[in-house]
Structure 1
Amino acid sequence: MTKSSSFPTKGNSATLNGTKFLEIDNVVKSYPSADGGELVILDGINLTIGEDEYISVIGHSGCGKSTLLKIVAGLEKPTSGMVRLEGKEIRKPGSERMMVFQQYSLLPWLTVQENVRLAVDEVFKKASPVEKKQIVSEHLAMVNLTQAANKYPDELSGGMKQRVGIARALAIRPKMLLMDEPFGALDALTRRKLQKQVLDIWESHRQAVMMITHDVDEAIYMSDRIVMMTNGPHAKIGEILEVPFPHPRDRQAIRESKEYYELRNHALNFLDQNFSQDE
Structure 2
Amino acid sequence: MQTKSHNFLDIRGVVKTYRNPRGQDLVVLDGIDLTVGETEYVSIVGHSGCGKSTLLKLVAGLEQPTEGSLTLEGKPIRKPGAERMMVFQQYSLLPWLTVRDNIQLAVDEVLKTKSRQERRQITEEHIRLVHLEAAADKYPDQISGGMKQRVGIARALAIRPKLLLMDEPFGALDALTRRRLQEEVLGIWETHRQAVIMITHDVDEAVYMSDRIVLMSNGPKARIAEILNVNLPRPRPSRHDLREMKTYHELRNHALDFLERSYKS
Where on the TM-score scale, by shorter chain, does this alignment land: which range?
A: over 0.9
Q: Does residue 209 of structure 2 align to residue 222 of structure 1?
A: yes
In the alignment, is the contact (CA less than 8 A) between 1:99 and 1:179 conserved in 2?
A: yes
Counterpart of 1:274?
Answer: 262
1:111 to 84, 98, 104: 98
* Gaps in structure 1 of 5+ consecutive residues: 1-13
Aligned residues: 264
Q: Distance in 1 between matches of 2:72 and 2:2?
A: 13
CA RMSD of aligned residues (A): 1.2
In the alignment, is the contact (CA less than 8 A) between 2:29 and 2:222 conserved in 1?
A: yes
Give how far 1:126 is off. 2.2
Q: Distance in 1 between matches of 2:141 and 2:83?
A: 29
Give how far 1:175 is off. 0.2
1:161-181 CA-partner distances (Å, limit 9, x unpaired): 000000000000000000000
Q: Distance in 1 between matches of 2:185 and 2:150?
A: 9
Give how far 1:65 is off. 0.1
Give how far 1:147 is off. 1.6
Q: Does residue 49 of structure 2 align to residue 72 of structure 1?
A: no
Secondary structure of residue in 2 paired with 1:266 = helix
Q: Does residue 237 of structure 2 align to residue 247 of structure 1?
A: no
In the alignment, is the contact (CA less than 8 A) between 1:15 and 1:21 conserved in 2?
A: no
1:176 to 152, 163, 166: 163
Counterpart of 2:154?
Answer: 167
TM-score, normalised on structure 1?
0.92
Q: Runs (4+) of structure 1 moved beyond 3 Å? A: 14-19
Structure 2 CA distance for partners of 1:16 and 1:248, relative to 1, 3 Å: closer
Question: Which stretch of structure 1 is more off in the superposition, 145-154 or 206-215?
Answer: 145-154
Give how far 1:127 is off. 1.7
1:149 to 136, 148, 165: 136
Counterpart of 1:201?
Answer: 188
* Gaps in structure 2 of 5+ consecutive residues: none
Give how far 1:16 is off. 3.9
In the alignment, is the contact (CA less than 8 A) between 1:15 and 1:49 conserved in 2?
A: no
Counterpart of 2:223?
Answer: 236
Counterpart of 1:11?
Answer: none
Give how far 1:262 is off. 1.1
Give how far 1:201 is off. 0.3
1:143-188 CA-partner distances (Å, limit 9, x unpaired): 0011211111111000000000000000000000000000000000
1:46-90 CA-partner distances (Å, limit 9, x unpaired): 000000000000000000000000000000111111110000000
Give how far 1:34 is off. 3.7
Counterpart of 1:262?
Answer: 250
Q: Distance in 2 between matches of 1:36 and 1:155?
A: 46
Q: Distance in 2 between matches of 1:127 and 1:172?
A: 11
Question: Which stretch of structure 1 is more off in the superposition, 150-159 or 250-259?
Answer: 250-259
* Letter of the 2:257 counterpart: N
Secondary structure of residue in 2 paired with 1:95 = coil
Superposed, 1:28-47 pairs within 5 Å as 28-47=15-34
Give how far 1:17 is off. 4.5
Secondary structure of residue in 1 paired with 2:181 = helix
Q: Distance in 2 between matches of 1:39 and 1:192?
A: 37
